[in-house]
Amino acid sequence: MAYKMLVVDDSQPMRSVIKKTIRAAGYGDADFLEASNGREALALVGESWLDLVVTDYNMPDMNGMEMIEEFKKDAVLAGIPVLVVTTEGSLEKVEAFLQMGAAGYIKKPFSPEQIREKIVAILGEPHGAESEEGDAELDF
């Protein structure tokens, strides 16, 4: 079963980069939804279950922080992990994101390794990524 992820960023090219980077990080079978701001994201989350939301902070209409606030008001949405990927790098902003309930934070620019590390911490290893050594105990 593929992970279902929502990528929220007001830049279409950045959404594409984030999706490509997530796939390169080992989540190649992930299904993606996209939104250009928090308000669009809120409209999409009611349509299907999500395993992860990856969002920017600075967006028009509703920024990432406001979107996280709205998620936390809903019992179902509050359970969806949110990873913030943004140019905002001040310690105060990072702490604010985490206090709001973000599951993690990555500063742009980022590498596939950084994305992988954060997503593995949130979701676990990608499906089918177990090592042969780790599977040895399961062989009959």
Per-residue confidence in pLDDT tens, the chain, 140 aa: 689 999 999 999 999 999 999 998 889 999 999 999 999 999 999 777 899 999 999 999 999 999 999 999 999 899 999 999 999 888 898 899 999 999 999 999 998 899 999 999 999 888 665 433 333 343 33
Residue 130 lies in a domain: no
Residue 45 lies in a domain: yes
Residue 22 lies in a domain: yes
The domain spanning residue 53 has which CATH number? 3.40.50.2300
Amino acid identity at 106: I
47 DSSP assignment: T
Residue 14 lies in a domain: yes
Residue 87 lies in a domain: yes
Residue 31 lies in a domain: yes
Domain span at residue 81 reads: 4-123
Q: How many domains does the chain have?
A: 1
Residue 42 lies in a domain: yes
The answer to whether the predicted template modeling score (pTM) of the entire model surpasses 0.75 is yes
Query: Tokens 């509703």 map to which residue?
Result: 62
Residue 139 lies in a domain: no
Contacts of 9 by beta carbon, 8 Å cutoff, 6+ apart = 15, 18, 36, 55, 56, 59, 85
**8 Å CB contact between 30 and 6:** no
7 DSSP assignment: E
